[in-house]
Chains A and B, each alone.
Chain A
Amino acid sequence: MLGLNRKDTTLLIVVFLLTMLAPFLLNPFPADSAMAQFNAGYPDLMQRFVIFGIFAVGFNILFGLTGYLSFGHAAFLGVGSYAAVWMFKLFTFNVVPAIAAAVVVAGLFSVLIGYVSLRRSGIYFSILTLAFAQMSFALAYSVLSNPKFNLTNGETGLQVYADDPQIFAVAGSPNLPHLFGLSMRSTYTMDVGAWSFDFNAGYYLCAVIMLVVFYLSVRLFRSPFGMMLRAIKSNQQRLNYTGLNSRPYTLAAFVISGMYAGLAGGLLAAMDPLAGAERMQWTASGEVVLMTILGGAGTLIGPVLGAGFIKYFENIFSKINDNVLHSWFAFLPDGMEDFMVTIIHPFVGKGWHLTLGLLFMLVVIFLPGGLVEGGQRIARLFKRNTTQTPGNDPEHHPKPSPHVAE
């Protein structure tokens, strides 16, 4: 279907169902129960799941497929956000031109950075992209925000004010980002018994866009172009001596992933019309690297899983405070209760990064292929006796492929 083989079609259908039914799947606990804080089915978080899924899928085209580890992809995310907010300020709150502008501007920006950075590979490429991203951050944070020429509004972040021109604004349309009148914030809440499910317009817009770009990335993975990108990761020298110029291939991969990042940035702005410089900081670039590796670099679904995983931790674990912990361990004797809370305290709330770090270490050490490899191993446990691949000759185990092209 859609030019895909059966396996990929199945994957696409599964992703389609997961995203469409996310409001149910992410709210498994009744709204008033003690477990309700593990519910992730509220609009803001669901939007983040799919938006960062898009970001990671795009990053994976460059990192997982081509083997170029960029440490500056958040720059494109930020540029996309700024472009989108400027479209809101100048023209209209309709999200279509804003998202289109975000993709185009991020694409142009990535041509520039990619052209320079791709002259080097390996660690030097990573450093170059990091340098560019930090320069972009500095530009956005201070340089391009002075009274004479205020492009980014510095620390405060770029936002839409009442006196902005908005020359194409249609009278009567919402004073917030909207899709031809449908506000991105409009949410329909469905109550079923003790459960409550939120259906948010913004989420569904992001989800549909994610499905489209996910489909495009599947096609790209299976295309001759994708094969060339994998060949670059595997052995760039051989590719050059086979008559192929690796430079335009890597640049194309870089620009495509930059456009994905720009799209994600544009969607972030479309959900909440605000663009801040912190979106471009190196921690944001590092986060997408974590997402991709955690989920499984070079796999189709891995980056989406990784993005969901990290965003879930960021938003759910960080909300668990000492009061919540005390209520969990209330059944224990007082001394024990305090002891348990003291032990767990550093790993939740503000310390969620610690838990994430530990999980990341466990995944990288025991599951180098990420969560996807974990899933595959579990699947293999169930049908162990049927799979005896001929490639299991211990003499000729291929070494695991490196994450970064040499």
Chain B
Amino acid sequence: MGILEVKNVNKRFGGLQALGNVNLSVQENTVHAIIGPNGAGKSTLLNCLVGKLIPDTGSVMFDGQSVLGRKPHEINQMGISRVFQTPEIFGDLTVMENVLIPCFARRDGAFRMHAFESVQHEKSLNEQAEEILVDMNMIEKRDMHAASLSRGDKRRLEMAMCLVQQPRLLLLDEPTAGMARADTNNTIELLKEIKEKRDITMAIIEHDMHVVFSLAERITVLAQGTPLVEDTPENIKGHPKVQEAYLGQAH
């Protein structure tokens, strides 16, 4: 049993079968990549995992519990954190506050009316937040406005916000989309670093082969809404079906 089990998931948008009978199993402490050409249904699948979309049929189980029909914040509270295609951070807040918010969310749950305490007085949460900023090499930027960070730093900050929650599953939605080669390599290094430092399960949605083959331990190839194969990177590279559906055209 993997930590995330997707079984027979179907999703239609009008006449378009976005997902057809998707089965997927993500094992704990592995980096699992889901690849596929544009329109293969990668984002639809991801949105089904985080509660943005509800599949027509099938089940999505996380750690033995169904995530279907739950709201994004409930799914996050179950232990799934998500990194977006373009970094989603709190631009008007400082870097430190950006990291503090997930700390509060983890300790206090989805809502707590703490309107009379002071943020500074939460010693242990402030320490947690500082720790992750040190870890991500961002501590000297703690008082900067998040919106004024460079794009790479925004990505780092978003990762820090997800990691400080100690998620059981980290979902990454095309973390290198639209990046220059150098930025892509930086992101790969960042993800490798994260993986080495902590036991973490990651599911990466990606269409850049370079990223996938440098990070993933398992790969699922999606084409036209259906999984073609699931295997190790070595086997995927040589797989004839994959060559035909994806690699042959793309590169």
A3 and B118 contacting across the interface, CB-CB below 8 Å: yes
Taking CB atoms, residues of chain B closer than 8 Å to A237 are 88
B250 within 8 A of A: no
Report the bound CA distance from A249 to B150 in whole Å: 30
Which of B20-28, B93-101, B233-241 is the interface stretch?
A: B93-101
Taking CB atoms, residues of chain B closer than 8 Å to A235 are 88-91
Given A227-B101, A228-B104, A396-B148: A241 and B119 interface contact (C-beta under 8 Å): no
Taking CB atoms, residues of chain A closer than 8 Å to B82 are 241
B90 and A240 contacting across the interface, CB-CB below 8 Å: no
Smallest CB separation, B199 vs chain A (Å): 20
Smallest CB separation, B33 vs chain A (Å): 21
Report the bound CA distance from A370 to B14 in whole Å: 49
Task: Give A1-21 interface residues, CB cut-off 8 Å to B.
Answer: 3, 5
Which of A69-77, A164-172, A216-224, A318-326 is the interface stretch?
A: A216-224
Smallest CB separation, A226 vs chain B (Å): 7
Smallest CB separation, B233 vs chain A (Å): 29
Task: Give B83-127 interface residues, CB cut-off 8 Å to A.
Answer: 84, 88-93, 97, 100-102, 104-106, 109-120, 122
- Pick the contact of A241 from B50, B114, B118 — CB < 8 Å? B50
Report the bound CA distance from A252 to B73 in whole Å: 18
B179 within 8 A of A: no
Taking CB atoms, residues of chain A closer than 8 Å to B91 are 234-235, 398-399, 401
Taking CB atoms, residues of chain A closer than 8 Å to B30 are none
Report the bound CA distance from A235 to B98 in whole Å: 11
Given A3-B118, A224-B117, A244-B73: A230 and B92 interface contact (C-beta under 8 Å): yes
Chain B residue nearest to A253 in the complex (CB)? B115
Chain B residue nearest to A252 in the complex (CB)? B113
B92 and A401 contacting across the interface, CB-CB below 8 Å: yes
Task: Give A224-247 interface residues, CB cut-off 8 Å to B.
Answer: 224-228, 230-231, 233-235, 237-246
Chain A count of residues within 8 A CB distance of the other chain: 38
B76 within 8 A of A: yes
B161 within 8 A of A: yes
A391 within 8 A of B: yes
A223 and B114 contacting across the interface, CB-CB below 8 Å: yes
Report the bound CA distance from A397 to B150 in whole Å: 10
Taking CB atoms, residues of chain A closer than 8 Å to B111 are 244-245, 248-249
Report the bound CA distance from A224 to B93 in whole Å: 12
B92 and A244 contacting across the interface, CB-CB below 8 Å: no
Report the bound CA distance from A234 to B91 in whole Å: 6
Report the bound CA distance from A223 to B89 in whole Å: 20
Taking CB atoms, residues of chain B closer than 8 Å to A252 are 113, 115
B148 and A241 contacting across the interface, CB-CB below 8 Å: no
Report the bound CA distance from A393 to B82 in whole Å: 30
Chain A residue nearest to B102 in the complex (CB)? A242
Taking CB atoms, residues of chain A closer than 8 Å to B114 are 223-225
Taking CB atoms, residues of chain A closer than 8 Å to B200 are none
Taking CB atoms, residues of chain A closer than 8 Å to B165 are 242-243
Smallest CB separation, A1 vs chain B (Å): 13
- Pick the contact of B118 from A223, A248, A398 — CB < 8 Å? A223
* 26 A-B pairs in the complex with CB atoms less than 8 angstroms apart: A219-B116, A220-B116, A223-B114, A225-B114, A226-B115, A230-B93, A231-B90, A231-B101, A234-B92, A235-B88, A235-B89, A235-B91, A238-B90, A239-B101, A240-B71, A240-B73, A241-B50, A241-B72, A243-B76, A243-B109, A244-B111, A245-B110, A391-B144, A391-B145, A396-B148, A397-B148
Chain A interface (Cβ within 8 Å of chain B)? 3, 5, 219-220, 222-228, 230-231, 233-235, 237-246, 248-249, 252, 256, 390-391, 393, 396-399, 401
Given A224-B122, A230-B92, A249-B111, 13 other A-B residues pairs in contact with their CB atoms under 8 A: A225-B112, A227-B97, A235-B90, A240-B71, A240-B72, A240-B76, A241-B84, A242-B73, A242-B105, A243-B106, A244-B104, A245-B71, A399-B147
Chain B interface (Cβ within 8 Å of chain A)? 50, 71-73, 76-77, 81-82, 84, 88-93, 97, 100-102, 104-106, 109-120, 122, 144-145, 147-150, 161, 165
Considering the complex of A and B, which 9 residue pairs feature the smallest CB-CB distances, nearest first? A398-B147, A243-B76, A225-B115, A245-B110, A243-B105, A234-B90, A234-B92, A248-B111, A238-B88
